[in-house]
Chain A
Amino acid sequence: MNKLMKLSGLATLGASAMASLPAWAQEATEAAAETATEAAAEVAPVMDKGDVAWMMISTVLVLTMIIPGLALFYGGLVRSKNMLSVLMQCTLITAVMMIVWVVYGYSFTFGGGTGAYFGGFGKLFLSGVGVTSTATTFDAGYILPEYVFIAFQMTFAAITPALIVGAFAERVKFSAVVLFTILWATFVYFPVAHMVWDVSGLLYGWGALDFAGGTVVHINAGIAALVGCIMIGKRIGFGKDNMAPHSMTLTLVGAALLWVGWFGFNVGSNLEADENAALAMINTFTATAGAIVAWVLVEAIGRGKASMLGAASGMIAGLVAVTPAAGTVGPVGAIALGAIASIVCYFFVTVVKHKFSYDDSLDVFGIHGIGGIIGAIGTGILSADTFGGVKAVADGYSIGGQTWIQVQAVVVTIVWCGVVSAILYKLVDMIVGLRVSGDQEREGLDTTSHGESAYHY
């Protein structure tokens, strides 16, 4: 095809792209200014096939994070009689959320509405979006097919509710999980994602830095998990029965798939395959490494023996912590971030959980919630070039100022999520009931909820 024809075609696309502007937190103001100048300067937007290919891969990597990554990670941690229930919940949440996202989730989050909390009804059923629709990236003039952006964000919307179920594993009712997922996505995930990642969003406007979803995904899931496990109550036999993981082997397989998939999560959040993506990539390695080593060391000292469960937990803690920071901190700073988050998470899952006696079965709050909080706040500090980050203090980046914004963003997320989740749990409990019966719980969810067994010895 004639290059000129291609460019003029893209120019028309570019014009329609301006009308649908999903953009991201940190580059917000700069991108907005650049877009305005760009419209004036008439540079045809470029759809780089390398960017598109990378984003497609990233999207599929994030799907892999949910199934089988999270599914096996959680599955291995529960008792064998409940293995299938975990796999089912992860699979169903994924499927249900994909449908919800396409029907109204994308619209509520990125629909183009100018509300601070709500993206509007403009793209219900993806109306107005076609094969030629485009989405902007952080760099003015570079675009993606809007379907790619929708799909990428769809996997984020799917994984977040899936994370929550770990908190009330082995006792939650299947129908409650599905119903809660839909309600929670509608009243918590979409609004918070809009607030953080959409141009009109409240926290976006404050300048909060959340590269790949420390608040939107991890703190959100962590708080919903904490509220949920407290409201649903402890497992029968908690503190007395042996509830050790039935397969640490599968848990490690799941954790490793999560780590690999996380490159799609973090690096894909750059929306382009460029030097900033490279930064996100290396951070996703170093922070995780720092976190694993830190957890293993602390456990070896504190408990006498380092365990695979600890190492896997440390891995996830580091990944969670680097999620908001991946695109702005330096690789060595990332090691510190991962290590600190890991140690704090260790403290929460061993000491705090025991002290306050809540049964957060798979440590969703302890790792995703706490890791997300540490990561979000740490981002404010370590993004400064003083610590190897990309934000130049000389250009006016204030560590104190940014960290304060981060704290506020964290608090807003915690309060919104905590309050609304509590209401929704209560509602779901009234409609279908949150918990299975005592006998069903003792026998196991696989046979009682799903009529099948994971293993046949």
Chain B
Amino acid sequence: MKLIIAAIKPFKLDEVREALTTIGVRGMMVTEIKGFGSQSGHTEIYRGAEYAVNFVPKVRLEIVVADALADQVVETIAKTAKTDKIGDGKIFVLDVEQAVRVRTGETGDDAL
């Protein structure tokens, strides 16, 4: 099983969720975060004065899927969340050791 962590622009969340459900993803966890990437911060003008914006709001997705689905999930997120502007985000893939469904006690791929 793989854990896919993705940081995307908040307004892209609905699109990404829909695209993922289409390819068979049945669950995810979403958190609101602040962050910055390689192009850290930018300046904005407010009341004539410039100030640096160090942290930008993002949305963090955590999705655990069977190994077979992982690549497709990464591809789907990358395609749907892209806006061709800076701050589009990042996707990371990690290995998952175990998964358990709380209601039934199922483990492994059956828990997903």
**A interface residue numbers (CB < 8 A to B):** 238-244, 303, 309, 349-351, 353-354, 363
Say yes or no: B49 contacts A239, CB within 8 Å: yes
Say yes or no: A353 contacts B47, CB within 8 Å: yes
Say yes or no: A242 contacts B48, CB within 8 Å: no
A238-B49, A239-B50, A354-B49 known; 9 new pairs, CB 8 Å cut-off, are: A240-B52, A241-B51, A241-B52, A242-B44, A243-B46, A243-B51, A349-B48, A353-B49, A354-B48
Say yes or no: B47 contacts A350, CB within 8 Å: yes
Which B-chain residue is minimally distant from A241 (CB atoms)? Answer: B51
| Interface membership of B96, Cβ < 8 A | no
Q: Cα distance A238–B47 when bound, in Å?
A: 12
Q: Which residues of B contact A243 (CB under 8 A)?
A: 46, 51
B6 → chain A closest CB, angstroms: 24
Which A-chain residue is minimally distant from B52 (CB atoms)? Answer: A240
Q: What are 18 sample pairs from A and B whose C-beta atoms fall under 8 A apart?
A: A239-B49, A239-B50, A239-B51, A240-B51, A240-B52, A242-B51, A242-B53, A243-B46, A243-B51, A244-B46, A303-B45, A349-B47, A350-B48, A353-B47, A353-B48, A353-B49, A354-B48, A354-B49
Q: Cα distance A241–B48 when bound, in Å?
A: 14
Instruction: Give 1 or 0 for each of B21-46: 1 = CB within 8 Å of chain A CB.
Output: 00000000000000000000000111
Q: Which residues of B contact A303 (CB under 8 A)?
A: 45
Question: Which are the 6 A-B pairs with shortest beta-carbon distances?
Answer: A350-B48, A354-B48, A354-B49, A240-B52, A349-B47, A240-B51
Q: Cα distance A195–B82 when bound, in Å?
A: 66
Say yes or no: B51 contacts A363, CB within 8 Å: no
Q: Cα distance A241–B54 when bound, in Å?
A: 8
Q: Which residues of B contact A242 (CB under 8 A)?
A: 44, 51, 53-54
Q: Cα distance A241–B51 when bound, in Å?
A: 6
Q: Cα distance A244–B55 when bound, in Å?
A: 14
Q: Which residues of A contact B48 (CB under 8 A)?
A: 349-351, 353-354
Q: Cα distance A325–B106 when bound, in Å?
A: 79
Q: Which residues of B contact A354 (CB under 8 A)?
A: 48-49
Q: Cα distance A312–B16 when bound, in Å?
A: 38
Q: Cα distance A349–B47 when bound, in Å?
A: 6
A280 → chain B closest CB, angstroms: 31
Q: Which residues of A contact B44 (CB under 8 A)?
A: 242
Q: Cα distance A394–B48 when bound, in Å?
A: 46
Q: Which residues of B contact A239 (CB under 8 A)?
A: 49-51
Q: Cα distance A107–B63 when bound, in Å?
A: 73
Q: Which residues of A contact B53 (CB under 8 A)?
A: 242
Instruction: Give 1 or 0 for each of B50-70: 1 = CB within 8 Å of chain A CB.
Output: 111110000000000000000
Q: Cα distance A405–B18 when bound, in Å?
A: 70
Q: Which residues of B contact A240 (CB under 8 A)?
A: 51-52
Q: Which residues of B contact A241 (CB under 8 A)?
A: 51-52
Residues of B55-94 at the interface with A, using a CB-CB cut-off of 8 Å, are none
Q: Cα distance A351–B48 when bound, in Å?
A: 6
Most A-side CB within 10 Å, residue of B45, B46, B53, B54: B46
Q: Cα distance A243–B48 when bound, in Å?
A: 13
B112 → chain A closest CB, angstroms: 32
Q: Cα distance A351–B49 when bound, in Å?
A: 8
A81 → chain B closest CB, angstroms: 16
Q: Cα distance A102–B60 when bound, in Å?
A: 59
Q: Which residues of A contact B49 (CB under 8 A)?
A: 238-239, 353-354
Q: Cα distance A303–B45 when bound, in Å?
A: 9
Q: Cα distance A238–B52 when bound, in Å?
A: 10
Most A-side CB within 10 Å, residue of B45, B48, B54: B48
Q: Cα distance A241–B52 when bound, in Å?
A: 6
Q: Cα distance A349–B51 when bound, in Å?
A: 15
A310 → chain B closest CB, angstroms: 9
B7 → chain A closest CB, angstroms: 20
Which A-chain residue is minimally distant from B44 (CB atoms)? Answer: A242
Q: Cα distance A303–B49 when bound, in Å?
A: 12
Q: Cα distance A240–B47 when bound, in Å?
A: 13
Q: Cα distance A243–B52 when bound, in Å?
A: 10
Which A-chain residue is minimally distant from B50 (CB atoms)? Answer: A239
Say yes or no: A363 contacts B45, CB within 8 Å: no
Q: Cα distance A195–B77 when bound, in Å?
A: 71
Q: Cα distance A65–B45 when bound, in Å?
A: 30
Q: Cα distance A239–B50 when bound, in Å?
A: 6
Q: Which residues of A contact B51 (CB under 8 A)?
A: 239-243
Q: Cα distance A309–B44 when bound, in Å?
A: 15
B45 → chain A closest CB, angstroms: 7
Q: Cα distance A244–B44 when bound, in Å?
A: 10
B46 → chain A closest CB, angstroms: 6
Q: Which residues of A contact B46 (CB under 8 A)?
A: 243-244
Which B-chain residue is minimally distant from A350 (CB atoms)? Answer: B48
Q: Which residues of A contact B50 (CB under 8 A)?
A: 239
Q: Cα distance A244–B51 when bound, in Å?
A: 10
